[in-house]
Chains A and B, each alone.
Chain A
Amino acid sequence: MGAGPAPERKPSGFSHLVLHLHPRLVPAAALPFQRTCGLGGAAAVLFLVLAVTGALLLVVYEPSPERAYGTVVRLVDEIPFGAFVRNAHHWAANGLVLVTLLHLLRVFYRGGHLPPRKGNWFVGVALLLLVVACAFTGYLLPWDQLAYWAVTISTGMLEYVPAAGATMLRAARGGPDIGPATLARFFVLHVAILPIALLLLLAFHFWLVRKVGGVILPADAGDEASPRGPLVLTSPHLTQREGAAALVVLAAVMLLAAVRNAPLLAQANPGMSPNPAKAPWYFMGVQELLVHLHPAFGAVAVPLLALVLLVLLPALGGGERPSGRWFGSPRGARLAMAATSLAVVVTVAAVVANEPLRRARPWFPGLPPAVRGGVIPLAVAVILVAVVAWVSRRRGGSRLEVVQAAFTFVAASFVVLTVVGVFFRGQGMALVMP
């Protein structure tokens, strides 16, 4: 196998299509699974699954508060394979959010966010936001208790945006409360505007990957003469691998859809919030922050800072060349591991320690709540990130590895908060065992 002259094959119509996405030849070094973990491809497959199942759901669903819930119940109870199609859409959507996040991490830890791939990193961050927006707008559509209250909480966060908060809240909901106008807005966003935006940006994303010469490769992939190493024919070497990976993703979605139902609670009741009322899992990290912090910080400042950090990551690299290896080097991996461990310990300790404190009388009642529950915790967090960076530097980390360790600390803390919110919060948002 490999670089030898492959037998001449007449490309089929399908491989012609695939060869618009890929070049005719690809580096053999780009093929191993752990180069990309197939995550970008899995996201593309999930997007296609969502388009197909979404089109099927559209035939049955009616977007009005009076009828929405009834059509979903009919879908599940009466339509042949209705529950299966709905489940597949649900699991593919959750899978897409998860896979997109993992894809972002994979790209980052292989240095794919640095020049010359910097522009595509920004496109990727925009795609992540679109994927989350798609998932979130879809969350309201069943119009059950889960949907109604999760969207009440999540849109309620907008109220704490300084100055424009009230206007943004009314714009998002189409009125002061979740109602017919909200459902109409979310429906149009979910089935038309966001998917079209996603599709256009996805095409751009793919084109930029192609333009830069494909996936990032380790510096030792080739030699002086051919830095990318030996080349092989895209079809069949790459296409067969991609086809197999796509089938695995499809099988996983269908298996989940067959054995696990998408949740459907009682019809939305504006008079009664379920206890506990939780946001979708990808917002649970923020909801967990809201338990601890002043709302202007938990809902607005911290998520905004996290987004700014994602956008700044390429610039923070300081023009260092990516090695294309996982975590840059074994030392980089060790530093990232240490940052993860520290984040887990510190975050868990903070959550547990704050449990009795947040119900008790504040320590400094004279301080404004925004300082007590916002500025001070945020300053402590920034100092911790700075300490992680400083220690990494002292341990001989390169600039890239220092930034990597600091980002890992932030990301791991957020994962811990999400896990706590999803699994360890019970009635009245008290800490419980799952």
Chain B
Amino acid sequence: MSTAPSIEPSVPARRDFLGRLGKGLGILAAAEILAVVVAYLAPTRGGAGRGAGIVVAGPVGEFTPASVRPFPAGKFYLVRLSDGGFLALSSKCTHLGCTVPWSQKEQTFPCPCHASTFDLKGDVLAPPATRALDLFPVVIEGGIVKVDTSRRIERARFEPAQVTYL
């Protein structure tokens, strides 16, 4: 009878503790399950190793200056500027990802989706696009032009250092 008051306060404290422990463990378990689901759903990198994305475009002499040749399979245009330099422009509009065609008449890349326009160097001529077309690295080995489509280079605007010369 005299022991009851000394025990009673500890009971709610213990219950409280166990309750909190249970809640905490529940939250932890939910977080773990969520992490499993996120990891399961996260995009996995494609198995392509180094060099898998190399597209052999052809000998340098095949491309006349100030010309554009599409490579639909590689999703890029190989541009030869009037000074003889090469640029590989991604055909994906930087606005929302539509594929831009090349207009020979206008000498521009007009996006069919939201009317963004890019020039021969990929620079934005008309918004809503805010960045120049992405680049893929161009290498010239033994007079053959090769484009590495596995490495996409994002850029704000055209700069002369982006051009590859023979």
Contacts of A293 in B (CB 8 A): 128
Contact yes or no, B127 A157, CB < 8 A: no
Q: Please name all residues of chain A whose beta carbon is closer than 8 Å to the beta carbon of B130 when the two chains form the complex.
A: 294-295, 369
CA A270 – CA B90 in complex, angstroms?
13
Checking A157, A292, A428 against B96 with a beta-carbon cut-off of 8 angstroms, the contacting residue is: A157
B26 within 8 A of A: no
CA of A177 to CA of B130, assembled, Å: 20
Q: Do A428 and B110 touch across chains, with their CB atoms under 8 A apart?
A: yes
Asked whether any CB of chain A lies closer than 8 Å to the CB of B112, the reply is: yes
When distances are taken between beta carbons in the complex, the residues of chain A under 8 Å from B127 are 294, 358, 369, 373
Map CB proximity to B onto A394-431 as digits: 1 under 8 Å, 0 otherwise: 00000000000000000000000000000000011110
Given A174-B43, A181-B43, A291-B128, decide whether A273 and B115 contact each other with a Cβ distance below 8 A. Answer: no
Chain A residues, CB < 8 A from B101:
272-273
Q: Mark A363-382, 1 if CB is under 8 A from B, else 0.
A: 00000010001000000000
The A contact surface, by secondary structure, is helix
**Cβ A295 vs Cβ B75 within 8 A:** no
A202 within 8 A of B: no
The reply to whether B98 and A277 contact each other, CB–CB distance below 8 Å, is yes
Report the contact-size class of chain B (Cβ under 8 Å from the partner).
20 to 34
User: Which residue of B has the minimal Cβ distance to A177?
Assistant: B97
Contact in complex: A276, B128 (CB < 8 Å): no
Chain A residues near B75: list those with CB within 8 A.
270-271
Q: Is B18 an interface residue (CB 8 A)?
A: no
> Which residues from A are CB-within-8-Å of B113?
149, 153, 273, 276-277, 429
Chain A residues 153-190 with CB under 8 Å of chain B are: 153, 156-157, 159, 170-171, 173-177, 181, 185
Q: A430: which B residues are within 8 A, CB to CB?
A: 115
- Indicate if B49 sits at the interface (CB-CB under 8 A): no
Chain A nearest CB, measured from B40 CB (Å): 11
Report the Cα distance A116→B157, complex, angstroms: 55
Q: What per-residue 1/0 map shows which CB atoms of A289-305 lie under 8 Å from chain B?
A: 01111110011000000
| Nearest CB in chain A to that of B93: its residue | A273
| Nearest CB in chain A: distance from B34 CB, A | 14
Contact: B112 with A153, CB < 8 Å? Answer: no
Contacts of B128 in A (CB 8 A): 290-295, 298, 358, 373
Q: Confirm or deny: B99 has a beta carbon within 8 angstroms of a beta carbon on chain A.
A: yes
Cβ of B36 < 8 Å from any Cβ of A? no
Give the residues in chain B near A358, CB-CB below 8 Å.
115, 126-128
Say which residue of B95, B110, B115, B126 sits within 8 Å of A156 (CB atoms): B95
Chain A residues with CB under 8 Å of B41's CB are 171, 174, 185
Task: Report chain A residues within 8 Å CB of B42.
Answer: 171
Q: Which residues of B contact A152 (CB under 8 A)?
A: 96-98
Q: Is the CB of A275 within 8 A of B43?
A: no
Given A293-B128, A373-B127: A428 and B112 within 8 A (CB)?
Answer: yes
Asked whether B43 lies within 8 Å of A170 as measured between CB atoms, the reply is yes
Interface 0/1 of B69-112, CB less than 8 Å to A? 00011010000000000000001000111111100000000111
> Is B114 interfacial (CB-CB < 8 Å)?
yes
Identify which of A173, A275, A427 gathers the most chain B CB atoms within 10 Å of its CB. A275
Check if A120 is an interface residue, CB within 8 A of chain B: no
In the bound complex, CA of A173 to CA of B43 (Å): 8
B99 and A270 form a contact (CB under 8 A)? yes
Which of A127-159 touch B at CB < 8 Å? 149, 152-153, 156-157, 159
Report the nearest A residue to B43, measured CB to CB: A175
A287 at the interface (CB under 8 A from B): yes
Indicate if the CB atoms of B98 and A149 lie closer than 8 Å: yes
Q: Flag B25-39 by CB within 8 Å of A: 1 or 0 each.
A: 000000000000000
Q: Can you list 13 A-B contacts with CB-CB less than 8 angstroms, sorted by A residue number?
A: A149-B113, A156-B96, A174-B43, A175-B43, A274-B112, A277-B113, A293-B128, A294-B128, A295-B96, A298-B128, A359-B126, A369-B127, A430-B115
New A-B pairs, 10, CB < 8 Å, besides A175-B43, A273-B99, A358-B126: A171-B42, A174-B43, A177-B97, A291-B114, A294-B128, A299-B96, A369-B130, A429-B112, A429-B115, A430-B115
Interface, chain A (partner B; CB < 8 A): 149, 152-153, 156-157, 159, 170-171, 173-177, 181, 185, 270-277, 287, 290-295, 298-299, 358-359, 369, 373, 427-430
